[in-house]
Protein backbone atom coordinates (compact mmCIF):
# COMPACT_ATOMS: atom_id res chain seq x y z
CA UNK A 1 0.00 0.00 0.00
CA UNK A 2 2.76 2.36 1.01
CA UNK A 3 4.66 1.56 -2.16
CA UNK A 4 1.62 2.28 -4.30
CA UNK A 5 0.82 5.58 -2.54
CA UNK A 6 4.49 6.61 -2.85
CA UNK A 7 4.21 5.87 -6.55
CA UNK A 8 0.97 7.87 -6.81
CA UNK A 9 2.38 10.92 -5.06
CA UNK A 10 5.53 10.68 -7.19
CA UNK A 11 3.43 10.63 -10.38
CA UNK A 12 1.28 13.54 -9.11
CA UNK A 13 4.44 15.52 -8.41
CA UNK A 14 5.70 14.59 -11.84
CA UNK A 15 2.45 15.76 -13.47
CA UNK A 16 2.69 19.03 -11.59
CA UNK A 17 6.26 19.55 -12.88
CA UNK A 18 5.25 18.57 -16.42
CA UNK A 19 2.35 21.04 -16.36
CA UNK A 20 4.56 23.83 -15.06
CA UNK A 21 7.02 23.10 -17.90
CA UNK A 22 4.13 23.01 -20.41
CA UNK A 23 2.97 26.42 -19.19
CA UNK A 24 6.47 27.69 -19.98
CA UNK A 25 6.14 26.35 -23.54
CA UNK A 26 7.82 22.90 -23.23
CA UNK A 27 5.90 20.86 -25.82
CA UNK A 28 7.61 17.54 -25.02
CA UNK A 29 6.53 17.87 -21.39
CA UNK A 30 3.00 18.77 -22.51
CA UNK A 31 2.82 15.75 -24.82
CA UNK A 32 4.03 13.43 -22.03
CA UNK A 33 1.58 14.91 -19.55
CA UNK A 34 -1.47 14.62 -21.82
CA UNK A 35 -0.67 10.98 -22.58
CA UNK A 36 0.07 10.10 -18.96
CA UNK A 37 -3.19 11.55 -17.59
CA UNK A 38 -5.45 9.62 -20.01
CA UNK A 39 -6.08 6.62 -17.68
CA UNK A 40 -6.83 9.00 -14.79
CA UNK A 41 -9.42 10.88 -16.89
CA UNK A 42 -10.92 7.63 -18.21
CA UNK A 43 -11.33 6.32 -14.65
CA UNK A 44 -13.27 9.45 -13.66
CA UNK A 45 -15.40 9.35 -16.83
CA UNK A 46 -16.18 5.65 -16.25
CA UNK A 47 -17.99 6.54 -13.01
CA UNK A 48 -20.75 8.20 -15.04
CA UNK A 49 -20.52 6.58 -18.46
CA UNK A 50 -20.56 2.93 -19.56
CA UNK A 51 -20.06 3.13 -23.31
CA UNK A 52 -16.39 3.32 -24.38
CA UNK A 53 -17.37 5.90 -27.04
CA UNK A 54 -18.87 8.21 -24.44
CA UNK A 55 -15.85 7.78 -22.16
CA UNK A 56 -13.62 8.74 -25.08
CA UNK A 57 -15.84 11.79 -25.75
CA UNK A 58 -15.30 12.89 -22.14
CA UNK A 59 -11.54 12.30 -22.46
CA UNK A 60 -11.37 14.50 -25.56
CA UNK A 61 -13.52 17.21 -23.95
CA UNK A 62 -11.25 17.20 -20.90
CA UNK A 63 -8.11 17.43 -23.05
CA UNK A 64 -9.56 20.45 -24.87
CA UNK A 65 -10.50 22.08 -21.55
CA UNK A 66 -7.04 21.46 -20.08
CA UNK A 67 -5.60 23.19 -23.13
CA UNK A 68 -7.98 26.14 -22.81
CA UNK A 69 -7.50 26.73 -19.08
CA UNK A 70 -3.89 25.60 -18.63
CA UNK A 71 -2.92 29.13 -17.56
CA UNK A 72 -5.14 28.77 -14.47
CA UNK A 73 -3.06 25.95 -12.95
CA UNK A 74 -0.96 27.08 -10.00
CA UNK A 75 2.13 24.78 -9.74
CA UNK A 76 2.20 25.21 -5.96
CA UNK A 77 -1.14 23.37 -5.73
CA UNK A 78 -1.84 19.65 -6.40
CA UNK A 79 -2.30 18.93 -10.11
CA UNK A 80 -4.56 15.91 -9.54
CA UNK A 81 -7.22 17.99 -7.80
CA UNK A 82 -7.16 20.53 -10.64
CA UNK A 83 -7.46 17.81 -13.29
CA UNK A 84 -10.09 15.81 -11.39
CA UNK A 85 -12.29 18.90 -11.05
CA UNK A 86 -12.14 19.48 -14.81
CA UNK A 87 -12.77 15.80 -15.62
CA UNK A 88 -15.76 15.54 -13.24
CA UNK A 89 -17.28 18.71 -14.63
CA UNK A 90 -16.92 17.68 -18.27
CA UNK A 91 -18.20 14.17 -17.54
CA UNK A 92 -21.35 15.62 -15.95
CA UNK A 93 -21.72 18.12 -18.80
CA UNK A 94 -21.79 15.26 -21.31
CA UNK A 95 -24.30 13.36 -19.18
CA UNK A 96 -26.58 16.42 -19.15
CA UNK A 97 -26.14 16.98 -22.88
CA UNK A 98 -27.16 13.40 -23.66
CA UNK A 99 -30.00 13.65 -21.14
CA UNK A 100 -31.36 16.73 -22.93
CA UNK A 101 -31.02 15.12 -26.36
CA UNK A 102 -32.61 11.90 -25.10
CA UNK A 103 -35.55 13.79 -23.60
CA UNK A 104 -36.31 15.67 -26.81
CA UNK A 105 -35.60 13.06 -29.49
CA UNK A 106 -36.92 9.60 -30.37
CA UNK A 107 -34.90 6.87 -32.04
CA UNK A 108 -36.13 6.16 -35.56
CA UNK A 109 -33.75 4.03 -37.56
CA UNK A 110 -35.30 5.01 -40.91
CA UNK A 111 -34.69 8.72 -40.23
CA UNK A 112 -30.96 8.17 -40.48
CA UNK A 113 -31.12 6.38 -43.85
CA UNK A 114 -31.13 9.42 -46.08
CA UNK A 115 -27.46 10.11 -46.51
CA UNK A 116 -25.74 10.87 -49.77
CA UNK A 117 -23.25 8.06 -49.14
CA UNK A 118 -24.93 4.89 -50.52
CA UNK A 119 -23.26 2.73 -47.85
CA UNK A 120 -25.08 4.69 -45.17
CA UNK A 121 -28.43 3.75 -46.73
CA UNK A 122 -27.70 0.03 -46.80
CA UNK A 123 -30.05 -0.86 -43.99
CA UNK A 124 -33.01 0.91 -45.54
CA UNK A 125 -32.26 -0.54 -48.96
CA UNK A 126 -32.15 -3.99 -47.38
CA UNK A 127 -35.66 -3.50 -45.96
CA UNK A 128 -36.95 -2.12 -49.27
CA UNK A 129 -35.45 -5.07 -51.20
CA UNK A 130 -37.17 -7.57 -48.91
CA UNK A 131 -40.58 -6.07 -49.52
CA UNK A 132 -39.99 -5.80 -53.32
CA UNK A 133 -38.92 -9.43 -53.46
CA UNK A 134 -41.95 -10.46 -51.40
CA UNK A 135 -44.25 -8.68 -53.83
CA UNK A 136 -42.55 -10.29 -56.85
CA UNK A 137 -42.81 -13.76 -55.26
CA UNK A 138 -46.51 -13.32 -54.60
CA UNK A 139 -46.98 -12.44 -58.30
CA UNK A 140 -45.62 -15.83 -59.52
CA UNK A 141 -47.94 -18.72 -60.63
CA UNK A 142 -48.49 -21.10 -57.63
CA UNK A 143 -46.46 -23.95 -59.16
CA UNK A 144 -43.41 -21.82 -59.81
CA UNK A 145 -43.62 -20.13 -56.39
CA UNK A 146 -43.84 -23.46 -54.58
CA UNK A 147 -40.85 -24.86 -56.50
CA UNK A 148 -38.77 -21.76 -55.76
CA UNK A 149 -39.66 -21.77 -52.06
CA UNK A 150 -38.80 -25.43 -51.61
CA UNK A 151 -35.58 -25.54 -53.62
CA UNK A 152 -34.09 -22.05 -53.21
CA UNK A 153 -35.53 -20.54 -50.02
CA UNK A 154 -35.83 -23.67 -47.83
CA UNK A 155 -32.83 -25.15 -49.61
CA UNK A 156 -34.23 -28.69 -49.92
CA UNK A 157 -32.65 -31.12 -52.35
CA UNK A 158 -34.64 -31.80 -55.56
CA UNK A 159 -35.51 -35.31 -54.31
CA UNK A 160 -36.82 -33.97 -50.96
CA UNK A 161 -38.75 -31.20 -52.69
CA UNK A 162 -40.22 -33.77 -55.06
CA UNK A 163 -41.35 -35.94 -52.12
CA UNK A 164 -42.95 -32.96 -50.33
CA UNK A 165 -44.71 -31.45 -53.33
CA UNK A 166 -45.59 -34.68 -55.12
CA UNK A 167 -44.12 -33.30 -58.36
CA UNK A 168 -41.42 -34.89 -60.47
CA UNK A 169 -37.81 -33.69 -60.22
CA UNK A 170 -37.94 -32.58 -63.85
CA UNK A 171 -41.10 -30.49 -63.33
CA UNK A 172 -39.49 -28.83 -60.26
CA UNK A 173 -36.36 -28.01 -62.24
CA UNK A 174 -38.39 -26.40 -65.03
CA UNK A 175 -40.54 -24.43 -62.55
CA UNK A 176 -37.51 -23.12 -60.63
CA UNK A 177 -35.89 -22.07 -63.89
CA UNK A 178 -39.04 -20.27 -65.08
CA UNK A 179 -39.63 -18.67 -61.69
CA UNK A 180 -36.09 -17.22 -61.54
CA UNK A 181 -36.43 -15.91 -65.09
CA UNK A 182 -39.79 -14.27 -64.30
CA UNK A 183 -38.41 -12.73 -61.08
CA UNK A 184 -35.38 -11.39 -62.90
CA UNK A 185 -37.59 -9.73 -65.52
CA UNK A 186 -40.00 -8.35 -62.92
CA UNK A 187 -37.32 -6.96 -60.58
CA UNK A 188 -35.44 -5.43 -63.48
CA UNK A 189 -38.68 -3.69 -64.49
CA UNK A 190 -39.27 -2.38 -60.93
CA UNK A 191 -35.77 -1.02 -60.40
CA UNK A 192 -35.35 0.59 -63.83
CA UNK B 1 -5.61 5.12 -26.99
CA UNK B 2 -7.97 5.74 -29.89
CA UNK B 3 -6.69 7.30 -33.07
CA UNK B 4 -8.92 10.37 -32.65
CA UNK B 5 -7.59 11.04 -29.12
CA UNK B 6 -4.05 10.56 -30.32
CA UNK B 7 -4.57 13.04 -33.17
CA UNK B 8 -6.18 15.51 -30.76
CA UNK B 9 -3.17 15.37 -28.43
CA UNK B 10 -0.84 15.91 -31.37
CA UNK B 11 -2.76 18.99 -32.51
CA UNK B 12 -2.99 20.42 -28.97
CA UNK B 13 0.74 19.95 -28.42
CA UNK B 14 1.47 21.51 -31.79
CA UNK B 15 -0.53 24.64 -30.93
CA UNK B 16 0.79 24.93 -27.35
CA UNK B 17 2.93 27.96 -26.68
CA UNK B 18 3.98 29.49 -23.35
CA UNK B 19 1.11 30.97 -21.28
CA UNK B 20 0.94 33.65 -18.59
CA UNK B 21 -0.15 32.09 -15.33
CA UNK B 22 -3.05 33.87 -13.67
CA UNK B 23 -2.22 35.57 -10.39
CA UNK B 24 -3.79 33.98 -7.29
CA UNK B 25 -7.52 34.77 -7.08
CA UNK B 26 -7.14 36.55 -3.72
CA UNK B 27 -4.65 38.97 -5.30
CA UNK B 28 -6.88 39.58 -8.32
CA UNK B 29 -9.93 40.15 -6.11
CA UNK B 30 -7.98 42.55 -3.88
CA UNK B 31 -6.78 44.59 -6.87
CA UNK B 32 -10.33 44.85 -8.22
CA UNK B 33 -11.73 45.85 -4.83
CA UNK B 34 -8.97 48.45 -4.33
CA UNK B 35 -9.81 49.98 -7.70
CA UNK B 36 -13.51 50.10 -6.75
CA UNK B 37 -12.59 51.59 -3.35
CA UNK B 38 -10.50 54.32 -4.99
CA UNK B 39 -13.27 55.21 -7.47
CA UNK B 40 -15.93 55.04 -4.74
CA UNK B 41 -13.93 57.27 -2.36
CA UNK B 42 -13.41 59.82 -5.12
CA UNK B 43 -17.13 59.85 -5.99
CA UNK B 44 -18.12 60.19 -2.32
CA UNK B 45 -15.68 63.06 -1.71
CA UNK B 46 -16.77 64.90 -4.83
CA UNK B 47 -20.54 64.38 -4.88
CA UNK B 48 -21.97 63.24 -1.54
CA UNK B 49 -23.14 65.36 1.36
CA UNK B 50 -21.05 63.85 4.15
CA UNK B 51 -22.71 65.93 6.87
CA UNK B 52 -26.06 64.26 6.11
CA UNK B 53 -24.35 60.89 6.10
CA UNK B 54 -22.63 61.65 9.46
CA UNK B 55 -26.02 62.50 10.99
CA UNK B 56 -27.52 59.23 9.73
CA UNK B 57 -24.44 57.23 10.73
CA UNK B 58 -24.95 58.21 14.38
CA UNK B 59 -27.72 55.58 14.37
CA UNK B 60 -25.98 52.23 15.07
CA UNK B 61 -28.45 50.27 12.90
CA UNK B 62 -27.06 52.00 9.81
CA UNK B 63 -23.66 50.57 10.72
CA UNK B 64 -25.13 47.09 10.51
CA UNK B 65 -26.64 47.87 7.14
CA UNK B 66 -23.38 49.29 5.86
CA UNK B 67 -21.39 46.33 7.18
CA UNK B 68 -23.91 43.91 5.59
CA UNK B 69 -23.79 45.50 2.12
CA UNK B 70 -20.03 46.05 2.10
CA UNK B 71 -19.20 42.54 3.30
CA UNK B 72 -21.70 41.00 0.85
CA UNK B 73 -19.97 42.90 -1.95
CA UNK B 74 -16.43 41.99 -0.88
CA UNK B 75 -17.18 38.33 -0.11
CA UNK B 76 -19.15 37.80 -3.33
CA UNK B 77 -16.35 39.29 -5.43
CA UNK B 78 -13.71 37.16 -3.64
CA UNK B 79 -15.88 34.04 -4.07
CA UNK B 80 -16.36 34.80 -7.79
CA UNK B 81 -12.59 35.03 -8.34
CA UNK B 82 -11.96 31.84 -6.35
CA UNK B 83 -14.67 29.86 -8.15
CA UNK B 84 -13.48 31.00 -11.55
CA UNK B 85 -10.68 28.42 -11.10
CA UNK B 86 -11.45 24.72 -11.59
CA UNK B 87 -10.06 23.30 -8.34
CA UNK B 88 -11.74 25.54 -5.75
CA UNK B 89 -14.38 24.23 -3.36
CA UNK B 90 -17.99 25.04 -4.33
CA UNK B 91 -18.46 26.09 -0.70
CA UNK B 92 -16.94 29.46 -1.67
CA UNK B 93 -20.36 30.29 -3.12
CA UNK B 94 -21.78 30.33 0.44
CA UNK B 95 -19.32 32.97 1.65
CA UNK B 96 -21.48 36.04 0.89
CA UNK B 97 -24.65 34.52 2.39
CA UNK B 98 -24.11 35.50 6.10
CA UNK B 99 -23.45 39.20 5.36
CA UNK B 100 -26.31 39.14 2.83
CA UNK B 101 -28.61 37.87 5.58
CA UNK B 102 -27.30 40.62 7.89
CA UNK B 103 -27.97 43.21 5.18
CA UNK B 104 -31.55 42.06 4.56
CA UNK B 105 -32.25 41.70 8.29
CA UNK B 106 -30.89 45.12 9.27
CA UNK B 107 -32.62 46.86 6.36
CA UNK B 108 -35.80 44.97 7.18
CA UNK B 109 -35.62 46.23 10.75
CA UNK B 110 -35.24 49.82 9.46
CA UNK B 111 -38.29 49.33 7.28
CA UNK B 112 -40.26 47.99 10.22
CA UNK B 113 -39.43 51.11 12.26
CA UNK B 114 -40.27 53.25 9.27
CA UNK B 115 -43.59 51.46 8.94
CA UNK B 116 -44.40 52.17 12.59
CA UNK B 117 -43.61 55.85 12.04
CA UNK B 118 -45.19 56.43 8.64
CA UNK B 119 -47.65 53.58 8.06
CA UNK B 120 -48.77 52.91 4.47
CA UNK B 121 -47.16 56.15 3.29
CA UNK B 122 -43.89 54.19 3.31
CA UNK B 123 -45.09 52.37 0.19
CA UNK B 124 -44.86 55.44 -1.99
CA UNK B 125 -42.31 55.21 -4.76
CA UNK B 126 -40.83 58.63 -3.93
CA UNK B 127 -37.06 58.53 -4.06
CA UNK B 128 -36.88 54.78 -4.72
CA UNK B 129 -36.64 55.31 -8.48
CA UNK B 130 -33.50 57.30 -7.82
CA UNK B 131 -32.02 54.35 -5.89
CA UNK B 132 -32.89 52.05 -8.78
CA UNK B 133 -31.05 54.27 -11.26
CA UNK B 134 -28.06 54.69 -8.93
CA UNK B 135 -27.50 50.97 -8.32
CA UNK B 136 -27.93 50.27 -12.03
CA UNK B 137 -25.63 53.13 -13.10
CA UNK B 138 -22.88 52.04 -10.71
CA UNK B 139 -23.48 48.30 -10.80
CA UNK B 140 -23.53 47.80 -14.58
CA UNK B 141 -20.10 49.34 -15.44
CA UNK B 142 -18.56 47.62 -12.42
CA UNK B 143 -20.21 44.37 -13.44
CA UNK B 144 -18.94 44.59 -17.02
CA UNK B 145 -15.35 45.22 -15.87
CA UNK B 146 -15.60 42.37 -13.35
CA UNK B 147 -16.92 39.97 -16.01
CA UNK B 148 -14.01 40.89 -18.27
CA UNK B 149 -11.60 39.98 -15.46
CA UNK B 150 -13.43 36.77 -14.51
CA UNK B 151 -13.50 35.67 -18.14
CA UNK B 152 -9.72 35.43 -18.18
CA UNK B 153 -9.97 32.27 -16.07
CA UNK B 154 -12.43 30.62 -18.53
CA UNK B 155 -14.52 29.28 -15.61
CA UNK B 156 -16.01 25.80 -15.89
CA UNK B 157 -19.28 27.00 -14.30
CA UNK B 158 -19.59 30.45 -15.89
CA UNK B 159 -23.17 31.16 -14.78
CA UNK B 160 -22.39 30.58 -11.09
CA UNK B 161 -19.25 32.72 -11.23
CA UNK B 162 -21.05 35.54 -13.05
CA UNK B 163 -23.98 35.39 -10.60
CA UNK B 164 -21.61 35.85 -7.67
CA UNK B 165 -19.84 38.68 -9.49
CA UNK B 166 -23.21 40.34 -10.20
CA UNK B 167 -24.26 40.04 -6.56
CA UNK B 168 -20.89 41.49 -5.52
CA UNK B 169 -21.02 44.59 -7.69
CA UNK B 170 -24.72 45.22 -6.95
CA UNK B 171 -23.99 45.04 -3.21
CA UNK B 172 -21.01 47.39 -3.58
CA UNK B 173 -23.26 49.80 -5.51
CA UNK B 174 -25.88 49.54 -2.75
CA UNK B 175 -23.14 50.32 -0.19
CA UNK B 176 -22.10 53.44 -2.12
CA UNK B 177 -25.76 54.41 -2.42
CA UNK B 178 -25.94 54.89 1.36
CA UNK B 179 -23.65 57.91 1.02
CA UNK B 180 -26.13 59.51 -1.39
CA UNK B 181 -29.26 58.43 0.49
CA UNK B 182 -30.35 61.29 2.74
CA UNK B 183 -33.09 59.27 4.48
CA UNK B 184 -33.74 55.90 6.08
CA UNK B 185 -34.74 52.96 3.96
CA UNK B 186 -38.49 52.43 3.46
CA UNK B 187 -40.36 49.29 2.50
CA UNK B 188 -40.34 50.42 -1.08
CA UNK B 189 -36.64 51.20 -0.90
CA UNK B 190 -35.83 47.74 0.40
CA UNK B 191 -37.92 46.17 -2.34
CA UNK B 192 -36.27 48.34 -4.97
CA UNK B 193 -32.78 47.63 -3.60
CA UNK B 194 -33.38 43.89 -3.63
CA UNK B 195 -35.08 43.93 -7.03
CA UNK B 196 -32.24 45.85 -8.63
CA UNK B 197 -29.61 43.66 -6.92
CA UNK B 198 -31.51 40.62 -8.23
CA UNK B 199 -31.72 42.23 -11.67
CA UNK B 200 -27.98 42.95 -11.85
CA UNK B 201 -27.26 39.40 -10.62
CA UNK B 202 -29.65 37.88 -13.16
CA UNK B 203 -28.29 39.90 -16.08
CA UNK B 204 -24.79 39.00 -15.01
CA UNK B 205 -25.71 35.30 -14.84
CA UNK B 206 -27.15 35.42 -18.35
CA UNK B 207 -24.08 37.26 -19.60
CA UNK B 208 -21.98 34.61 -17.89
CA UNK B 209 -23.60 31.80 -19.86
CA UNK B 210 -22.54 33.29 -23.18
CA UNK B 211 -19.65 35.64 -22.46
CA UNK B 212 -17.72 34.20 -19.51
CA UNK B 213 -16.59 30.87 -20.96
Beta-carbon separation of B1 and A74 below 8 A: no
The correct CATH number of A8-104 out of 1.10.3720.10, 3.40.50.720, 1.10.1740.10, 3.40.640.10 is: 1.10.1740.10
Question: B28: Cβ–Cβ under 8 A, 6 or more apart, which residues?
Answer: B22, B81, B149
Question: By percentage, how much of chain B surpasses pLDDT 90?
Answer: 42
Hey, which of B56-60, B191-195, B196-200 has the most confident mean pLDDT?
B196-200
Q: Does domain A121-191 have CATH number 1.10.10.10?
A: yes
Name which of A127-136, A164-173, B6-15, B119-128 the model is least confident about: B119-128
Q: What is the pLDDT of residues B129-174, one digit of tens each?
A: 777 788 888 888 898 999 999 999 999 988 899 999 999 998 998 8
Q: What is the pLDDT of residues A2-29, one digit of tens each?
A: 444 555 555 667 899 999 999 999 999 9
Give A45's contacts in chain B (Cβ within 8 Å).
none
Beta-carbon separation of B154 and A72 below 8 A: yes
Beta-carbon separation of A35 and B1 below 8 A: yes
| Residue range B112-118: mean pLDDT, rounded | 71
Give B25's contacts in chain A (Cβ within 8 Å).
none
Instruction: Specify burial of residue B158 (Cβ count, 10 A radius: 0-12, 13-18, 19+).
Output: buried
Concatenated DSSP letters for B81-128?
HHHTSTTS-GGGGGTTHHHHHHHHHHHHHHHHHHHHHHGGGGGS-TTH
Task: Please say if the pLDDT value at position A50 is more than 70.
Answer: yes
Taking the Cβ of residue B4 and every Cβ of chain A, the question of whether any pair is shorter than 8 Å is answered with yes
Domain boundaries, chain A: 8-104, 121-191
**Pick from B141, B156, B142, B136: which is nearest to B212 by CA?**
B156
Amino acid sequence: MTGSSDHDSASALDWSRLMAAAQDGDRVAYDRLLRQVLPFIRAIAARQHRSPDRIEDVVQDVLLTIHRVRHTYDPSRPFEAWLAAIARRRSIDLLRRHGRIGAAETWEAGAYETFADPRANKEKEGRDATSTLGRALRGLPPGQREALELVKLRELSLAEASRQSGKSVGALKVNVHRALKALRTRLKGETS
Amino acid sequence: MTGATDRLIESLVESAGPVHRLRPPAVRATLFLLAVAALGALTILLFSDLSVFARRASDPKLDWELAGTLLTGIFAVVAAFELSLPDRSPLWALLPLPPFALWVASTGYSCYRHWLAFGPDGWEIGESAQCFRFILAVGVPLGVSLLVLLRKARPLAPARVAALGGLGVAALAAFLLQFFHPFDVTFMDLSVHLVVVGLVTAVSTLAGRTYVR
